Chains A and B, each alone.
Chain A
Amino acid sequence: MLDDFMTRATLAGIGVAFAAAPLGSFVVWRRMAYFGDATAHAAILGVALALALELSIFAGAMAVALAMALTVSALSGRGYAMDTLLGVLAHSALAFGLVAVSFLSGIRIDLMAYLFGDILAVSRGDLGVIWSGAALVVGLIGWRWSRLLTSTLSPDMAHAAGINPRHEQLILTLALAITVAVAIKVVGVLLIAAMLIVPAAAARPLARTPEAMALIAAGIGAASALVGLRAAYVLDTPAGPSIVCVAATAFALTGLYSVARKAR
């Protein structure tokens, strides 16, 4: 079954959607969208380093994404507004990454494959990495779910309940770095944040509890991967962006549904 490239691509897309749904919900609730962007953009530098040092792309991307996320966490609240800081770091990381890639002579690198993903080229090994990473992220967030939720609602309330919100922030940061690393192959560094945010945002009008929102986001993300890949195959469009387009359409539809429901 895994011999078919479309099957492998579909499974890869669904794996990323499952990891992105609970994490993406927290990214939306905590207003960390730009933080996700910065972490993802930094991963291109990780890709360049991994290629230069002949390490695995996954490890390189994850290490740099994690370093980026920790740097942002450490620098926040030290004089610059968060969005300025993230704007500087996200785009510099991307620029340094692109420059670093250009130094890599010898091997021809298809830069587009890392910027926009190359889901149709997912191998069995990639699939293993993607599903292990996704399982790790879902497990990590599931394990800390109530603590994360309490810290998100009110850091002080978390303290009073004996929870350290900084530890929970680190858990999210780690989950974000893993997700970025596994999603590079599927949607590429430029569209990872979209996979995090769009399905979660699309799920919002349909959910009454945080848990429901994460589950619905997983459903919307997986459906987007299925439909997007099919559309890419039929219409001969790039796969990663097609998946994001379908998710964006779902967002528009649930938004309209929400407006219509309120009008009644």
Chain B
Amino acid sequence: MSLITVENLSVRYGGHMALAHVDMTIEPGEIVTVVGPNGSGKTSLLRAIIGAVEPAAGRVTRKPGLRLGYVPQKLHIDPTLPITVERFLRLPGGISRTDCARALEQAGVPDLSGQQMSGLSGGQFQRVLLAHALIHRPDILLLDEATQGLDQPGSAAFYRRIEQVRRETGCAVLMISHELHVVMSASDRVICLNGHVCCEGTPEIVSSAPEYRALFGTGTGGALALYRHEHDHGHDHGHSHDHAHPHDHKTEAAE
């Protein structure tokens, strides 16, 4: 059985339809990335999956007993709230010190447990959020633009860590990102969203789909070029798609 099954999901905020008729499934162990422009319903989709927003239509079915690990886009901790990393990790409860240490180790920040959350750097903070999501040994990790505010090496390292966690624990990963080049290289499957599912499939298929080109075409040429430059050697599909060429030119221009 799929970990999560989304059927005909529609989400409405006020009078605005954020998502319409979305169908998707997440299988055990796969890394799925949702891409899409601002306002395309990416966060709405994730919030519907964690149960933070009621669907206007359709439904989200979780495998019974499914354990979710959620990493929010940004977490603001009010400066009036003193809290150490360890105390934060132990919320909402039932967590031992050993579990804390293991999760921090997995997230790649083993020495932080006694520090105040407010004293962490942006990168450390996101790692601690990741540790919090990992602590209950989740079947699936859900990440909402978890690298926002990190620089390029920082977010690349973060996504490498996610891949490593998946290898070690076998958990599935559903993430939202607009860092297309990172996403493309790390994902098993990409879903391109714009109020509805535009296209979906392996990174290669999606990046050459006309719907995807229409959304991200020239604006993100640089990022795509970077992706092609780093990871596309040996793949022989550029020739069958005329649209690919402008991006290839960009690659040359960048060099």
Contacts and interface: CB of A to CB of B under 8 A. Distances in A.
Contacts of B68: 160-161
- Kindly list the 5 A-B residue pairs having the minimum CB-CB distance in the complex, ordered from nearest: A160-B70, A159-B52, A160-B50, A150-B92, A146-B92
B75 A157 contact: yes
B116 interface: yes
B1 interface: no
14 contacts: A29-B81, A150-B92, A153-B81, A153-B88, A155-B52, A157-B75, A157-B132, A159-B47, A159-B50, A159-B51, A160-B51, A207-B82, A209-B84, A213-B82
Contacts of A201: 80
B93 A154 contact: no
A210 interface: yes
Main secondary structure of the interface of B (DSSP, over half): loop
B240 to A, nearest CB: 42
A163 B68 CA distance: 13
Interface string B32-62: 0000000000000001001110000000000
B254 to A, nearest CB: 38
B91 A204 contact: no
B201 to A, nearest CB: 28
Interface string A187-198: 000000000000
A254 interface: no
A211 B116 CA distance: 14
A80 to B, nearest CB: 15
B72, B77, B91: residue with the most chain A Cβ atoms closer than 10 Å? B91
Interface string A154-184: 1111111111000000000000000000000
Contacts of B87: 209-211
B83 interface: yes
A213 B80 CA distance: 10
A156 B146 CA distance: 14
Interface of A: 28-31, 146-147, 149-150, 152-163, 201, 204, 207-213
Given A153-B91, A156-B70, A163-B92, A28 B82 contact: no
Contacts of B83: 153, 209-210
Nearest to B132: A157
A13 to B, nearest CB: 24
A208 B93 contact: no
B142 interface: yes
Given A29-B81, A161-B68, A208-B116, 13 more contacts: A31-B78, A146-B92, A156-B52, A157-B75, A159-B47, A159-B51, A160-B51, A160-B70, A161-B70, A207-B82, A208-B84, A210-B82, A210-B87
A155 B52 CA distance: 8
A201 B82 CA distance: 11
A100 to B, nearest CB: 36
Interface string B136-148: 0000001000000
Given A146-B91, A210-B87, A157 B70 contact: yes
Nearest to A159: B52
Contacts of B84: 208-209
Contacts of A147: 92
Contacts of B88: 153
Given A146-B93, A150-B92, A160-B70, A209 B82 contact: yes
A41 B82 CA distance: 30
Contacts of B92: 146-147, 149-150, 158, 161, 163
Contacts of A163: 92
Contacts of A207: 82
A135 to B, nearest CB: 23
B53 to A, nearest CB: 9
Given A160-B50, A160-B142, A29 B78 contact: yes
Contacts of B47: 156, 159
Contacts of A31: 78
Contacts of A156: 47, 50, 52, 70, 72
A31 B75 CA distance: 16
Contacts of A154: 72, 75
